Amino acid sequence: MENITVYTVESSDVRILHTGDTHLGSRQYHSDVRRQDFFNSFAQVIQDAIENKMDAVVHSGDLFDNRNPTIEDLIETIAILTPLKNAGIPFLGIVGNHEGKQNTQWLDIFEKMGLAKRLGSTPVIVEGSRSQIRFYGIDNLSGPRLAAFDFSGFDADLKCGGDGKKIYNVLTLHQLLEPILPGQPLSSDDFTSSIPIQFDAVLLGDNHKYECIKHNGAWLTYPGSTERCSAAEAEPRAYNILTFDGTEVSITRRTIPTREFVTIPIVSDENGEIQIDDIYLKIDSYSEKINGAVVFVELSGIKKTLIPISEIEEYVKNKGAVVARVGDKRDLEKDDSDKTKQIVFRDPDEVVTQELRRLNLTEAGFLLDSVIRDMDTSKTNVTDVSETRLKEFLANHEFKDEFKRDSIYNDIEDSIEDEDNIEDAAEGSAEIDSEVVAETIAVIEQIHHASEMQEVPLPPKEEAGESDLNEETDEIEAEDVSPMAEPTAKTPAKKEKEQNRPRQYTLGDMFGSEGEE
C-alpha cells in the first residue's frame, strides 16, 4: 500500500458528501454581492459536512470559476477548507474545465498545504469497520484529449488491504455524459470501459442540475451546482450524500439555502402598447419577493413602444433588489409561437480552420498556428517558441520560389537581374521581427478566442494581410539591392527612382494573402 493514502474512520457506515461546480470567484452580473453568495454556499456545504460528521467530501470539479482566481478568492477558499482539515475530514477533488491550468493545479497547491487531495489513477481510500471505499478521478477531458488519455495507470490488481471488508470503487469525473444526459457526444462507458475496474458509483460534475440514474450496475449522479449560475437554474441548490453500509450504496440529497431569483413577466397588449406606469404597478405587486433577490423583468409581446430599461432597473434596485436586469424579448411583428425556430451550432475547431483558410497563411503562418494550438506550450512561452521555430524555418527554407507572387515577384525582377541576387535579397530581408511575430500570433489567437464564443469575426483584409504586418517596412525604402553600390547624393531623379523601387521584404510578406499588395 505504498504511496496510497488511507483515511480510517470508526463508523460502520461510511458517509461521503458529494458536491461540485462551486465556481468560487464568480462575479455574476458584475456583482460583488453575488461573488460572496458563491463563497457562502460553499461554506454552508463544508459546515454541513463538519456538523454531520461526514467521513469525506468529494468535489467533482470547477472549484473555481476560472483558472486565475484572485488572491482574495484563494484566501477565502483556504479559510473555508481549514476547519474541514481541523475536523479530520479529507477533501478529495478533481480539476474541472473552468479552473484547469496547463501544469500545476490549484488542488496541487492545496494538497501541499494539507487542505485537499487530488484524485487520480492511484486510489485514495476511506476505510470503515465494514467497508473500504477506493476513490479514483480523472480531470476534465475534451474528446481529442480523451482519445490520447493513458488509462494504463488504473490497476485492477492493486493490493490495498481491506481483507474481509466490502470493497467499493468510485470514479469521479467532470464531464457531460450519456446516458444520464441524453444527446451528449461522450458516454460514461467511454471512461469505465477503458478502466479494468468495476465501479459502484461515478460521481459527476459539470452539469448544474441534479441527476441520478443507475447504469451497468453503477450509480451515475450529478449533485448540481451550489449556486445558481444562470437564471435558467430554477431548482433548489443541493449536494449528495452517499452511504456505504457494507452491502449496498445509497444516495440522498440535501438542499442548501441560496439567494432567491425572481422573474417578473410583463406582456404588452395585442396592439403592442405598454405603459411605464403599468410596468411599475406590476413590479410593485412583487415587492415582498424583490427585497434581497436577483430580479429579472421580462418584457414580451409586440414591440411598438420604447421602454427606458435603465429607469426600470433603477426602480427595481430601489425596492431592495441585489441585482436588477430587464430583458426585452418583444418582437417587432406578431409572435408566431407555433413556428419552430432552428438554431445551428458550429464546431469551434471547424470555425477556426475555415477562418485560417480565409487568412491565406503561408507555411510559416501555419507553423505559428501549430505553436499556439500546442497544449504543451504555455501561453507565456508562445512568443519565444514561435521565434525559435521561425528562425529554424528561415534557416532551412528555400526562398527562390516562395516569393514568386505575381506583382510582388515582378517588382523584384524589374530591379534585380540575376536569379542569385533575387534569392539573396529575399533571404537577407526575411529577418525575424519580434513585433511582426507577436502581431501575427495575436491575429491567430483572436480567431481561436472568438471561436470559443461561438462567433468568429472575420477581420478586414487589411488587418490580416500585408498592410498592417508590413507597416514598419513600408516606411523604410531599400537604398540599393546590389552589395557593391556606392552611396551617392540624392538628386530629384534619384528620389523619383527610389520611389519606384520595390520595398524590401520581411516575414510579414509570408503571412499576407496571395497576390495582395
Q: Which residues are catalytic?
A: 98
161: left (phi over 0), alpha (psi -120 to 50) or beta: left
Is 397 labeled as ligand-binding? no
Is residue 76 within 8 A of residue 64, CB to CB? The reply is: no
Half-sphere exposure at residue 128, Cβ-oriented, CA atoms within 13 angstroms: 20
291 is in an annotated binding site: no
Strands 261-267 and 249-255 come out as unpaired
User: CB within 8 A of 3, min separation 6: which ones?
Assistant: 122
CB 439 within 8 A of CB 466: no
> Cell 528561415 identifies what position?
394
| Block residue for cell numbers 476511506 | 126
Closest CA to 58 of 217, 218, 171, 206: 171
Sort 419 into a burial class: Cβ within 10 Å, 0-12 / 13-18 / 19+.
exposed
The interaxial angle of helices 348-359 and 363-373, nearest 10 deg, is: 150
Whether residue 21 is annotated as binding a ligand: the answer is: yes
Check the annotation: does 208 bind a ligand.
yes
Residues of the chain by 3-state class (helix, strand, coil), percent to 5: 35, 20, 45
Look at the block and give the residue holding cell 478533481: 94
What is the distance, to the nearest Å, from the Cα of residue 366 to the centroid of all Cα atoms in its chain? 24
Please tell me whether residue 441 adopts helix, strand or coil conformation: helix
Q: According to the annotation, is 174 in a ligand binding site?
A: yes
CA distance 201 to 252: 14
Instruction: Count helices and strands (H / E) in the chain.
Output: 19, 16
Q: Give the integer Cα–Cα distance in Å for 235 and 232.
A: 9
23 annotated as ligand-binding? yes
Place of cell 468495476: 198
67 near 36, Cβ under 8 Å? no
Q: List binding-site positions for Mn(2+).
A: 21, 23, 62, 97, 174, 208
- Binding-site positions read 21, 23, 62, 97, 174, 208
